[in-house]
Amino acid sequence: MSTRIARLMTAVVRPAAGLFVAATLLAGCVGAGGGATPTLPAASEAPQASTNAASSTSVSGFYLRATQTQALAPQYTFGWLPSVTIADGQYIDGMIAIPTIYPGPLYEGLSQRQISAAGIDQIVAEARKDGLLDTKIDFSGQPMPGSVLSHIQMRIDGTTHDLTGPLPSGVVSESASSGTTAAYELFWSRITSLESWLGGELGVSKPYTPASIAVLLTPPSDAAGPMTPTEKTWPLASTFATFGKAYGGVDYRCATVTGTDLATLLPVVQDSNQLTRFVDSTGAKKSLQVVVLVPGDPGPCA
């Protein structure tokens, strides 16, 4: 019997160092399953299969997004990206390795690859074989308090399937019975390891260009040992006091940045690190967290 090693949450989440420590301390004393599960866009807004990548697939309007949630204050899970998104015939990989140095880069870009019609058909066939397209949608059982839950959202032929289950943390059997938690874990393992499962159905990797990013203003970073935080001028017209909305506490504000503001801000954050402090026109100072938003993801600031 062959096995597959599940990819872990710790390989995809890169919150700021201070928030990561706080989240770890809180994880053992909060209820399970907290945080709203992200929702798919309305049917009229759903990404459509591209003509060159999925025109011959046996399903229409295919969309998939795999995410994780935990019952923590929102500022501690702000940086949790979808593990994988498939939209408009493109596979967007959210599995980002955690930098081994601090301060790491402030901005972590994603990559995307075209996925073939045959690849999409194989995903749908696997979901059907695993019993994930029937009436059962919750495979989480009785999760331990503070545990991380995984969510898989698919749209197939106009029908949305919104599934919840545990986050696999070890060896996943490939002979799981249909409709079981083990089958859900197998499917999660497959879709978060597309390169090894469907590598021949994926195109060449290229950088993903976001149409929007989510930005979290946080208290200004402190010096870390001998390293002194650099300071940069906040490039947007809004001050920190008017930027977005309060988020998880009085010291945090969150906003989705698009259009000309995105074109102005993105090069600046790409050239910054986790210790960078920004100074607005009033002299106020803040640090940032930045998350790339993928198609169909309303983002944490919504």
Q: pTM above 0.75?
A: yes
Neighbours of 53 (CB within 10 A): 20
Looking up tokens 């070890």, which residue turns up?
Answer: 170
CA distance 24 to 265: 30
In the chain, the percentage of residues whose pLDDT exceeds 90 is 65
Listed by start position, the domains of the chain span: 3-207, 212-292
Neighbouring residues of 266: CB distance < 8 A, sequence distance ≥ 6: 107, 210, 213
Q: How confident is residue 132, by pLDDT bands cut at 50, 70 and 90?
A: very high
Mean pLDDT of the chain: 83
Q: Is the pLDDT of residue 27 over 50?
A: no
Q: φ and ψ at 260, to 5 degrees?
A: -65, -35
Predicted confidence (pLDDT) per residue in 113-128, tens digit: 999 999 999 999 999 9
Q: Is the pLDDT of residue 95 over 50?
A: yes
pLDDT of residue 182: 95
